[in-house]
Structure 1
Amino acid sequence: MDSASHETRSLSVVVPLYQERENVEPLLARVHEGLESYEDPWELILIDDGSRDGTGQALMELGRRYGAHVRVLCFRRNFGQTAAMQAGFDAARGRLIATLDGDLQNDPADIPRLVDELLARDLDLLQGWRRERQDALLLRKVPSRIANSLIAWVTGVRLHDYGCSLKVYRAEVVREIRLFGEMHRFIPVWIAGVTAPERIGETDVRHQARTHGQSKYGLSRTFRVLLDLLVAFFFLRFGARPGHFFGAIGLSFGLLGGLMMGWLAWVKFGLEQDIGDRPMLFVAILLLVASIQFLTTGVLAEIMTRTLFASGERTDHCISAQTDPDNAGWKQRR
């Protein structure tokens, strides 16, 4: 295989971790075992999301032991999985990027197969599908299925398992999006905003029960997903034109309030009836005031959007340490 092919298949594996001290050593062992047959250059980027149980220290120690292809980024405090994944994407040097959770429920041995399938199907994102998911039915499976169906219905991106962290991306595509808040759950949706939906696929992956540590997810996640879904829908449909979103609501309220006021004016001057104590008068005034507020909000949102696009600059989360970033190398099968 020539050097150009090696470069095309160069791989960065991004793994965010939080409070996963017991999983650090088996995680690194399984990643190296799973990628032992990978013939192209690869690196492992581990992000400690402000853990307080010694996860960061364990990552640094084992990273030095395995070699320069293992790079460790440590947040000064907990910023969340989305920020950790974005930091990993920013640090990745491979033409392809794979992500997986640090809880050992994803199998790193699936990554080479996903890479081959991504390239064979000419996709920009290949999403894992945990068809045989090893989680509690009521606490994890049922809420996940409801959330997946709702996301697919609202966004139009039809996937079975948005929550699976095992994914493979083309780096040039994933770098066109910026993750914030808790939007890591909607990465396929954001990707669909910069590439054709038919270039997003899914495939079966293995899933294993958690053996160490505790899950960071619960039923409360369902409510956050609903709120994040609303934000995702707004940014996908109106991210570049927020004035249309707020303006449509403002014009609707203004039209309804104007019709009410017109009717009341006819009642007042045409029928010569008193309208001062009619509830419709107060509702009409409320709608007109709300209309003005929504319209002005839309104008301000348009100004802010254009300012953001014009600046082209963002600031991201601080990183306090990493293992020999200047000497970071690649791992390659000999």
Structure 2
Amino acid sequence: MSAMIETSLESPQPAGAPELSLVVPIFNEEESVRPLVERIIEAMAAFPGAWELVLVDDGSADRTLPTARNFLSRPGLDLTIVELQRNFGQTAAMQAGIDTARGRLIATLDGDLQNDPNDIPLMVRALEERELDLLVGWRKNRKDGLVVRKIPSWCANYLIGRITGVKLHDYGCSLKIYRATVIKQVKLMGEMHRFIPAWVASVVPSSRIGEIEVTHHARQHGTSKYGISRTFRVILDLLSVMFFMRYKARPGHFFGSLGLGTGFLSVLILFWLFIQKVVFGEDIGGRPLLILGFMLFLSSVQLITTGILAEMIARVHHRDDTSPSYIVRTVFQKGD
């Protein structure tokens, strides 16, 4: 993920590959999937290039998959449906769709009808005109609950921007346009889809990441998959992102810095106690400061050795870790 790439040199498209791939993860959206596909078809009618739709069913327990499969016979619709073996989460489903996509550009959006497909052609044009690698949607007039969704989202966006250095108004908007050559350099894991701009910033300059205002609709069917409890998970994920962005290729620097800091503090404490014992003749055997000094010294040794082990593990496994974060049960295409 840290490898540098030349984004100005587009990889040649395979023969018959579409210009744009639309990736939509769906989970228990049986009431939304039909109007969603209809709106996408209507919005993309005037798109000048070829496009495809990739629906990823993330282990739905309702009739989402059968409803989506009805569109496989739709004339003129280039549709691929990826059925995952179980519910792996939105991030893994998004990764599965990106891996399946064949387009030069990739658009992602939610399957709950809150993102507006009519924004996609405008975003594609803006991405090309501004020469960006990633264009993020900004739900300026968000149609969600203030306490449950908006306030936690505002806090998360502020913290992410401060820590990652990528300043955006809306990290959580799933409506994004990517250059395929860039996003396919990034491996998404866990629940890290909110941090995609930060991951992309690890392979391209942040100046090639932009945002644009998009339309946001209130949820019409079903219930939200997120609540205020997600704020705590976002904070934990943010700490992981901060670590991986700064120390993924050099974890020894992180643990080593902590180890040297605690070691220096232990040396100061033990030296002070040595002066107290030798120069002033004080009894230091029962002083808590002595125990603290030795504990800090042991912690320093443990942190430094942990850093060395982390460096060894990173060098051995970093380039060989190609295992996917999802399992595909079936891929449906036209005629299935």
Q: Which interval holds the TM-score relative to the shorter structure?
A: over 0.9
Partner of 1:301: 310
Q: Tell me the secondary structure at the aligned position of residue 190 of structure 2.
A: coil
The worse-fitting range, judged by mean Cα deviation, of 266-275 and 223-232 is: 266-275
Trace 1:91-110 onto structure 2 (pairs within 5 A).
91-110=100-119
With over 3 angstroms needed to count, the CA separation of the structure-2 counterparts of 1:138 and 1:312, relative to structure 1, is closer
User: How far does residue 120 in structure 1 lie from its aligned partner after superposition?
Assistant: 0.4
Distance 2:18 2:169 in 1: 27
Q: CA-to-partner distance for each residue in 1:117-161, whole Å, 9 max, x for gaps? A: 000000000000011111111111111111111111111101000
User: How far does residue 64 in structure 1 lie from its aligned partner after superposition?
Assistant: 3.8
Partner of 1:136: 145
Consecutive unaligned residues of structure 2, counting only runs of 5 or more, are 1-11
Q: Tell me the secondary structure at the aligned position of residue 118 of structure 2.
A: helix
User: How far does residue 264 in structure 1 lie from its aligned partner after superposition?
Assistant: 1.2
Partner of 1:168: 177
Trace 1:282-293 onto structure 2 (pairs within 5 A).
282-293=291-302
Identity %: 51
What number of residue pairs does the alignment pair up? 324
Q: Comparing both structures, which one devotes a greater share of its residues to helix?
A: 1
Aligned residue type for 1:290: S
Of residues 79, 84, 101 in structure 1, which corresponds to 2:88? Answer: 79
Partner of 2:4: none
Partner of 1:57: 66
Distance 1:70 1:7 in 2: 14
Consecutive unaligned residues of structure 1, counting only runs of 5 or more, are 329-334
User: How far does residue 63 in structure 1 lie from its aligned partner after superposition?
Assistant: 2.9
Aligned residue type for 1:122: E
Residue 273, structure 1, aligned to residue 255, structure 2: no
Distance 2:18 2:179 in 1: 10
Partner of 2:130: 121
Asked if 2 retains the 8 angstrom alpha-carbon contact of 1:64 and 1:323, the reply is no
Partner of 1:332: none
Distance 1:157 1:9 in 2: 30
Normalised TM-score (structure 1): 0.93
Trace 1:144-155 onto structure 2 (pairs within 5 A).
144-155=153-164
Aligned residue type for 1:146: C
Aligned residue type for 1:185: R
Asked if 1 retains the 8 angstrom alpha-carbon contact of 2:134 and 2:209, the reply is yes
Asked if 2 retains the 8 angstrom alpha-carbon contact of 1:68 and 1:324, the reply is no
Q: CA-to-partner distance for each residue in 1:170-195, whole Å, 9 max, x for gaps? A: 00000111000110000000001100
Q: CA-to-partner distance for each residue in 1:89-115, whole Å, 9 max, x for gaps? A: 111100000000000000001100000
Aligned residue type for 2:247: F
Of residues 44, 50, 55 in structure 2, which corresponds to 1:41? Answer: 50
Normalised TM-score (structure 2): 0.92
Residue 255, structure 1, aligned to residue 264, structure 2: yes
Deviation beyond 6 Å, 4+ runs, structure 1: 6-9
